[in-house]
Amino acid sequence: MSFPNSLRPLVSLLLLSSSSLVPTFSVTGWNIAIDVTTHANGAVGGRAFAIQPVVAVTDNKGIILQHAFEGRVTVQIDPSSFATEDNVGGGRNDVNLWKEGETTAHVSGSTLVSQSVMNGRVIFTGLGIDTAGSRYRLKFVLYDEHDLIMDTAVSDEFDVIVGESYQLGWVTHPESAFGGSVFGSQPLVSIQDRGGNTVMDVNEGMVRVVIYPCIIYLFVRHWY
């Protein structure tokens, strides 16, 4: 019996009698593992991580398989990050991972980035998260050349902090109103970073509202 290079089950030989040696194959696990060697850090809303994650593909002895493995690694926000209201984005489920310059795939309600293994490693670049929050974790999944899952790994926890003032964004749009009466719902805007997070430490400035046909323009002055 032969196996693809990436599928290396541990084989045990069982001596059944003094005169016969019969091979018995016992698959106790693939001789392939994935290890997060550099964890994501320095995360700011709307910007790529200052420190990008790096993963290595190893054998069961921890030796990096520089030339013996072909495959890819996917990364996404670990679903357990959204388990409670006191962590990521207040328990929101619309928080996504992105990669600069690429359209990320949506899998099971979450965005997913895939990158090929090169010389036993995957060095991710341009990954980021818009929504500020705490206790984020990234989940990595290793696939071989046949698209079979070999191993998974989860990163250390990290926070995404609010960035510097960048834009003026809508929080609440005004509702329709009758002539001569106030809007049923008044407009609410906020000073935001690149990820759309409200920058809470802005306490000076002025927002001017200008009405054009069918459009309301908002102008802000001296808010940073």
pLDDT, greater one: 103 or 129: 129
Domains of the chain: 32-161 (2.60.40.340), 167-221 (no CATH)
Say yes or no to pLDDT of 206 above 70: yes
Report which residue type is found at 140: F
83: left (phi over 0), alpha (psi -120 to 50) or beta: alpha
pLDDT confidence of 174, banded at 50, 70, 90? Answer: confident
Query: At 146, is the secondary structure helix, strand, or coil?
Result: coil
Q: How confident is the model at residue 173, as a pLDDT? A: 87
pLDDT confidence of 88, banded at 50, 70, 90? Answer: low
User: What span, in angstroms and rounded, lies between the C-alpha atoms of 43 and 130?
Assistant: 9
* Residue 136: Cβ within 10 Å count: 24
